[in-house]
Amino acid sequence: MLTGKQKRFLRSKAHHLDPIFQVGKGGVNENMIKQIEDVLEARELIKVSILQNCEEDKETVAASLVEGTGAELVQVIGKIIVLYKESVEKKTIILP
């Protein structure tokens, strides 16, 4: 589990990132979770945006992503979800 200090650190690192994935009408599916896991392994910190036509609320989408990928939820701000998962092979982010 991330501490408040670690979340603040990750939020500042995520600030300049662009969302890589978009959750739309179909919501979260297996294929998306697999792709997000792969990208998290490569990058550790990503943003996912929720489109206007998404039928689930952002908290549900965030919970599905966290559960599916095993990532930590850094923050949900507006329609953007920030996820962090420590990389096994390519660890680049050193948490405080």
Which pLDDT value is given to residue 90?
Answer: 86
By the 10 Å C-beta count (0-12 exposed, 13-18 middle, 19+ buried), 59 is classed as exposed
pLDDT in tens, 71-88: 999 999 999 999 999 999
Q: What is the band of 64 on the pLDDT scale with cuts at 50, 70, 90?
A: very high
User: Distance of CA 33 to CAs 3, 37, 39, 84, Å?
Assistant: 25, 6, 10, 14
Chain-centre distance for alpha carbon 45: 7
pLDDT in tens, 10-31: 999 999 999 999 999 999 999 9
For domain 4-84, give the CATH number: 3.30.110.60
User: Distance of CA 80 to CAs 21, 48, 75, 89, 90, Å?
Assistant: 10, 6, 8, 26, 24
Which pLDDT value is given to residue 62?
Answer: 97
